[in-house]
A and B are shown apart, each in its own frame.
Chain A
Amino acid sequence: MARNDGVWSKDHVISLRKICPMVSSEITAEASAAEVEGYGSSKLTVDSAVKYLQLANRLFSQAELFHFCANILELVIPVHKSRRAYGQLAKCHTMLTDIYESILEQESSPIPFTDATYYRVGFYGERFGKLDRKEYVYREPRDVRLGDIMEKLSHIYESRMDDNHTLHIIPDSRQVKADELQPGVCYLQITAVDPVMEDEDLGSRRERIFSLSTGTVRARVFDRFLFDTPFTKNGKTQGGLEDQWKRRTVLQTEGSFPALVNRLLVMKSESLEFSPVENAIGMIETRTAALRNELEEPRSSEGDQLPRLQSLQRILQGSVAVQVSCLLGFLTKFLHIFN
């Protein structure tokens, strides 16, 4: 793009990079060098860039990724401003109004918005060829559940087995010791993982509540994912509160999602452990944070208090209502009678 266009500053490029990390400094530098030398330039003009941005805006809007739409329109507005295209500017601002209202609606929903689901898939077995002992993170549509991807991958890889090999799915997220697996069996380990927010404290013992960390508009670009595995020191997965440990595994992928491919290789895997008492303190701190979050919500100053009341009642009911324990006692008695 010609240097004298002057509609976008460095901040705009940084903003674009947050949406599309592929616009790295190396790529930009290479493109600039090619332009200076008079060949290989991208032929990207401001007009064609605006067209791409508008297309991206439409697609992000269809995918309900409204935070991306807002950032994209902020890139288009300077162009219209520099050209005094007031009609286009009015259109952009109307769209921005709709977008921010949609974001508000999304964030106030009791069900946290997810644009995709992510799964870690580990391949163990010589029949997998180059995939053997490699882990990938798959990005799937938001309605794909763990059972769906298990079925899909089983179907794909079962057809690649021969008479001497069978396919087995490892149903939990325990650490796999590849050398101890049975020869002649190919293993797929499939685990649901959560994307990690840029500023998230992974060492926090608090339970992760996605909705709590989506209070502000964020770009949903992820290259780190995590999953928690409960375990006890006696080998069982689940135990009493005093025995319940938790291992948090953080995966770093090669590149980031959204991407042109639906799976990315895991480059690095790190884990940390939380002791039973740390988990218990974390659970209490999570409830406290949820309640405090509700008390300090900015919407408290607005007219309609019903959503706030409902939300408050929900958390209080789970925290102090005695009838819940009574109900638990009743159910235990009920089961006892009918057993």
Chain B
Amino acid sequence: MFYKPLVTMAKRSSLFLRLSALLQVNSGVLSVCTAFLSGEPATRLRSQELQQLIAALLEFMAVCKRAIRVHFRLIGEEDQDFHTQLVNGFQSLTAELSHYIPAILAEL
């Protein structure tokens, strides 16, 4: 009877710690777009590099989408809010990335 709140608390605290540690990661995908895809990327990157970068970003977002679906199947009631945040975050990220890769909206 008592183990569930404890598990949830432990999970929350570990997530909080992880959140603190992951600042750099989230800024990663958008920073990459700003650094390499803003302006005229074709003048700075080779065609193959550009294609590889876009393919990597599209694949990343596709796997994220799949992971969010799996997440929904795994969670209980107490994680619904967190899931909503993830969905909103994913949508915002897609919208941001679409400024650099318009095709992303059709792909996802």
Contacting residues of chain A (255-293) with chain B, CB-CB under 8 angstroms: 276-278, 280-281, 283-285, 287-288, 291-292
Closest 10 A/B residue pairs (Cβ): A318-B22, A241-B35, A318-B25, A322-B89, A320-B89, A324-B26, A284-B56, A242-B35, A320-B90, A280-B32
A241 and B31 form a contact (CB under 8 A): yes
A280 touches B23 (CB 8 A): no
Residue of B nearest to A310 (CB): B11
Size class of the B contact interface (CB-based, 8 Å)? 35 or more
**Chain-B contact segment, one of A11-19, A191-199, A301-309:** A301-309
| Majority DSSP secondary structure for residues of B touching A | helix
**Which residues B42-78 have CB closer than 8 A to chain A?**
44-45, 49, 52-53, 56-57, 59-60, 63-64, 66-68, 70-71, 74-75
Q: Are B26 and A321 in contact (CB under 8 A)?
A: yes
Q: Are A240 and B56 in contact (CB under 8 A)?
A: no
Could you tell me which residues of chain B, from 2 to 23, have a CB within 8 Å of some CB in chain A? 7, 11, 14-15, 18-19, 22-23
User: CB of A175 within 8 A of chain B?
Assistant: no
A325 to B88, CA, bound (A): 13
Q: In whole angstroms, what is the CA distance A323 to B20 when docked?
A: 11
Number of A-B contacts (CB under 8 A): 129
A-B contacts, 10 of them at CB < 8 A, read A241-B36, A287-B25, A288-B56, A309-B79, A316-B64, A318-B22, A319-B29, A319-B60, A320-B68, A324-B26
By a CB distance below 8 angstroms, the chain A residues around B88 are 322
Q: Does A315 contact B (CB under 8 A)?
A: yes
C-alpha gap A140/B31 in the complex (Å): 38
Given contacts A284-B57, A288-B59, A327-B23, contact A322 B67 (CB under 8 A): no
Q: Which residues of B contact A325 (CB under 8 A)?
A: 26-27, 30
Residues of B contacting A321 with CB < 8 Å? Answer: 19, 26, 85-86, 89
Q: A320 to chain B: closest CB distance in Å?
A: 4
Q: Report the separation of the CA atoms of residues A152 and B57 in the bound assembly, to the nearest whole angstrom.
A: 45
Min CB distance, A241 to chain B, in Å?
4
Partner of B71, one of A277, A284, A312, A328: A312
Cβ contact within 8 Å between B64 and A317: no
Say which residue of B23, B30, B31, B67 sits within 8 Å of A316 (CB atoms): B67
Q: Are B23 and A284 in contact (CB under 8 A)?
A: no
Q: Bound complex: CA of A288 vs CA of B56, how far in Å? A: 8
CB distance from A179 to the nearest CB of B (A): 36
- B contact residues around A132 at 8 Å (CB): none
Residues in B with CB closer than 8 Å to A327 are 19, 23
**Docked CA distance A292–B26 (Å):** 17
Closest to A314 in B: B18
B53 touches A309 (CB 8 A): no
- B103 is an interface residue with CB less than 8 A from chain A: no
Query: Are the C-beta atoms of A294 and B67 separated by less than 8 Å?
Result: yes
